[in-house]
A and B are shown apart, each in its own frame.
Chain A
Amino acid sequence: MATAREVLTLAVEIGDLLLRNGAEVYRVEDTVLHILEAYEIKDYDVYVLSNGIFASANEDEEDACSMIRHVPLGSVHLNRIAALNQLSREICAHECSLSDAWERLKECKNLPLAPDSVKLFFCGLGCGCFAYLFGGTVTDGLVAFFVGVVLESFLLTTGKSKSSKFIINILGSAIATTLSLLALNFGLPVLHDKVIIGSIMPLVPGIALTTSIRDLFNGDYLSGVIHLMDAVLTAFCIAVGVGTIITIYQFLPGGVLLP
């Protein structure tokens, strides 16, 4: 029989990892509750926010304990969420002992991410495809591909040094805009707006928006607002980055006049 403390540590650790990799609040709360239940903890309470977990177990017993975790908003890793989901399914089906669960948790933590070269290529491909989808030509798509690759290499390098998210978004969208306008200036037959729209797609807060809606809909208003704020501010930063470069471009001698 495991102590409440061991079980709670495992449950909260799994919850922490889920939240860190971008799961919505409802899923985290549900997972932690189910794990506690599966290991026969009777008396428990869990409260999850988009950047924190509060949990307590066996309040009236000898081995009462509680835990608080601070989880900063981070980048999304869907394969880790999927793996953790599988793990918690097995725990709930009582197919997984406590020590096995820790082993599995370690594996989930170290699930490999796509290598940088793959990310670079697919970021470019994504940007190119989006430029085309939003009404650009094939040339626009090709230009957006290269802009996307450069943008992703910028994101990868800054991602390692913990720079402010705001600065990264402003600089990132500024880089994308600059490169797109350069392509226009070199006389490539591009629709600069389509190229810019395609290449800022990796920055656009689609995930924050979606998560925020799901949190709000599940009644987690505070978490929903945290993500919504994140989405709005990110959108604002992108607008600042794009806007600044376009304004400068207008005043540059030799800048092709924008339509």
Chain B
Amino acid sequence: MMIQFIVGFFATLSFAILFSAPKRQLIFCGLTGAAGWIVYLLLTQNDSGIALANLAATIMLTLMARIFAAIERHPVTVYLLSGIFPLVPGAGIYYTSYYFIMHDIENFTRYGSETIIIAGSIALGIVFGFALPQRMFNALPQLGHRTKK
């Protein structure tokens, strides 16, 4: 689990660099992605289904992105765009096209619908993550500055 967290951290961090995120924020981008990935992993290992796992992971990472954004006074986008990558259904796209080519219609529909479900769960997760009012996050900067002193 620890290894997964570290690899997830570096995976997200590398992509944050590709999107030229501000240097000081790279660590937070990495943490956002790694946290989302761990939530996803824990839930899938407990057979909670792919939709719930993606939903919970996305809510987790959206909230973390918003917290970092409030503390560091940066746009949420910086953390969210890089953090979302471990969850994006790249594997789904691959398997869907692979089974389509192989004329394996059963697996094709299975992976195809799974990909759509994942995308939908991510969408809902982001929506829920943003549903909390900004007020709750506005108190955070003081907190952050106090700890810095």
Name A's B-contacting residues (CB within 8 A).
Answer: 22-24, 27, 76-83, 85-86, 89, 113-114, 118-119, 122-123, 125-126, 129-130, 132-134, 152, 193, 196-197, 200-202, 204-207, 209-211, 213-214, 216-217, 235, 238-240, 242-243, 246-247
Contacts and interface: CB of A to CB of B under 8 A. Distances in A.
A90 B23 CA distance: 21
Contacts of B82: 78
A205 B84 CA distance: 11
B20 A217 contact: no
B3 to A, nearest CB: 9
Given A129-B14, A214-B130, A242 B94 contact: yes
Given A27-B75, A126-B15, A134-B91, A210 B126 contact: yes
Contacts of A213: 122-123, 126-127
Given A209-B122, A238-B93, A246-B101, A77 B19 contact: yes
Contacts of B74: 82, 85
* Interface SS majority for chain B: helix
B138 interface: no
Contact of B101 (A113, A200, A243): A243
A169 B25 CA distance: 29
B14 A122 contact: yes
Contacts of B16: 78
Nearest to B94: A197
B137 interface: no
Given A113-B20, A133-B8, A239-B93, A217 B78 contact: no
A82 B81 contact: no
Interface of B: 4, 7-8, 10-11, 13-23, 25, 37, 73-75, 77-78, 80-82, 84-86, 88-91, 93-98, 100-101, 119, 122-123, 126-127, 130
19 contacts: A23-B77, A27-B77, A78-B82, A83-B22, A85-B74, A122-B13, A122-B14, A122-B17, A129-B7, A130-B86, A134-B91, A204-B88, A206-B85, A210-B122, A211-B81, A213-B123, A213-B126, A217-B130, A239-B97
A114 B20 contact: yes
Contact of B11 (A76, A113, A133, A152): A133
Given A125-B11, A126-B15, A242-B94, 20 more contacts: A24-B77, A76-B81, A81-B78, A82-B21, A85-B75, A86-B73, A113-B20, A119-B18, A122-B13, A126-B11, A129-B10, A130-B11, A130-B86, A133-B86, A201-B88, A204-B89, A206-B84, A213-B122, A217-B130, A243-B100
Contacts of B37: 133
Contacts of A126: 10-11, 14-15, 18
A125 B98 contact: no
Nearest to B10: A129
A200 B93 CA distance: 10
B90 A201 contact: yes
Nearest to B115: A235
